[in-house]
Amino acid sequence: MTLHQRPSLQEVPAYKQGKPAAAGASKLSSNESPHTPLPSVLASIQEGLATIHRYPSIAAPELTGALSQQFDIPAEHITLGAGSVEVAAQLIHALAAEGDEVMYAWRSFEAYPSLVRIAGATPVEVPLNAEHCHDLPAMLAAITEKTRLIFICNPNNPTGTVVQAEALDEFINAVPRNVLVVVDEAYVHFDRSERADGVALFRKYPHVAVLHTFSKAYGLAGLRVGYAISPLEVAANLRKVAVPFGVSDLAQRAAVASLAAIEELSVRIEEVVTQRERMYEGLAAAGYPVVKSQANFVWVDAGEATELLEAKLSAGGVVVRAFPSEGLRISSGTAEDVDRVLAALTVKEATA
Ligand SMILES: *Cc1c(COP(=O)(O)O)cnc(C)c1O
């Protein structure tokens, strides 16, 4: 006799993590910060170590208070999770159940399809347009009576493209007010375009939530902390579906210390943007179909040449995220990492 299990989980792949890198290789597969933690952040974590026998505060008053101040938004709107992936899961569980639809662009963040299916809801994937951007008219046309949530990943992972301010405003205005638009801004700090501002849209419309994370620009991927800014009635339900004590005290402390260190972090963020542009220029000059990015990575629309390029980079000591027959995403690392990427391109015969 076999165990009763949910048949629907057969369609759910296990989350595929960016490849680990061998010692000495450049790990450019998961969009992490290439920089080790700031001393002030490490010190705040050190202080918290003495009390790890206690549960953390679920309300996390220091962190929600600091975020509330930063955005000038009442703390009741701000809810936390173990990374913004968990917050995305909370949003789906809070708003969608069996038979409900959750829409997002495709290709976009790899976690969306699994999270939707795990919740028992139905994913609705709207293909990106020819410019690798969200196809907002097609997304509007795909809204049905069953739509509960629409994710807009801005900038989009893995293509690095953005939805501009006016276009997103018009889109949100056209979405029925009983459907929540979630603007996932995991990469917002790296955007140098006339970007749509998720928080401004949250202020303007009653059916907008924003997702932020400390994993990318703030360099805390290993500690798991992210948050949503959402309408009060949504925030109340996010607190109900959250995993209790999901955000450790160490993560809360590190996040507060990171908010306080934004000037130091900004220097690092600028450096990542500089290296992203260098990598873009180098790939373009070498004739690769690289897409202009506003995130901390670039997308190479390599199609059938994906495996060959991955092999070249791998031979040059660079680990990237490849989507077979589609393309590859290369995170923006340090200047040395990008040197390696560009050097690997010039090698004529890769040992695949
Ligand atoms: C990395 C990423 C996140 C954040 O992940 P965490 O769980 O906060 O580490 C969220 N959304 C997108 C699109 C991402 O790429």
221 lines ligand 1 (CB under 6 A): yes
Residue with tokens 């004739």: 287
Closest CA to 332 of 264, 274, 286: 274
219 lines ligand 1 (CB under 6 A): no
Q: Is 51 exposed, middle or buried, given 0-12, 13-18 or 19+ CB atoms closer than 10 A?
A: exposed
Instruction: State the pTM of this model.
Output: 0.96
The runs of H, that is alpha helices, within 221-261 are: 232-241, 249-260
| Distance from Cα 9 to the centre of ligand 1, integer Å | 22
CA 281, CA 15: separation in Å to the nearest integer? 32
3-state secondary structure of 297: strand
pLDDT of residue 352: 46
Q: Above pLDDT 70, what percent of the chain?
A: 99
CA 326 remoteness from chain centre: 20
CA 195, CA 301: separation in Å to the nearest integer? 23
Tokens describing residue 65: 């208070």
| Distance from Cα 196 to the centre of ligand 1, integer Å | 18
Going along the chain from its start, the domains and CATH numbers come out as: 22-36+263-351 (3.90.1150.10), 39-260 (3.40.640.10)
15 falls in which pLDDT band (50, 70, 90)? confident
Q: What atom of ligand 1 comes closest to residue 153's alpha carbon?
A: 13
* pLDDT tops 90 at residue 322: yes
| Distance from Cα 344 to the centre of ligand 1, integer Å | 28
| Distance from Cα 29 to the centre of ligand 1, integer Å | 13
349 falls in which pLDDT band (50, 70, 90)? low
Closest CA to 128 of 282, 283, 345, 291: 291
- 123-176 tens-digit pLDDT: 999 999 999 999 999 999 999 999 999 999 999 999 999 999 999 999 999 999
* pLDDT tops 50 at residue 270: yes
Those residues with Cβ within 8 angstroms of residue 292's Cβ, 6 or more apart along the chain or in another chain: 160, 161, 280
**Which of 84, 154, 224 to mutate to test ligand 1, by most ligand atoms within 8 A of the CB atom?**
84
CA 329, CA 272: separation in Å to the nearest integer? 15
**Which amino acid, 182?**
V
21 falls in which pLDDT band (50, 70, 90)? confident
CA 201, CA 258: separation in Å to the nearest integer? 25
CA 249, CA 276: separation in Å to the nearest integer? 33
User: What is the average pLDDT across 174-194?
Assistant: 97
DSSP string, 106-173: ES--THHHHHHHHTT-EEEEEE--TTSS--HHHHHHT--TTEEEEEEESSPTTT----BHHHHHHHHH
- 56-97 tens-digit pLDDT: 999 999 999 999 999 999 999 999 999 999 999 999 999 999
User: What is the average pLDDT across 296-321?
Assistant: 97
* pLDDT tops 90 at residue 120: yes
* pLDDT tops 50 at residue 350: no
153 lines ligand 1 (CB under 6 A): yes
* pLDDT tops 80 at residue 208: yes
Of 220 and 19, the structure prediction assigns the larger pLDDT to 220
Q: What is the mean pLDDT of the chain?
A: 96
Whether residue 154 contacts residue 168, with contact meaning beta carbons closer than 8 Å, is answered with yes
* pLDDT tops 80 at residue 313: yes
3-state secondary structure of 211: strand
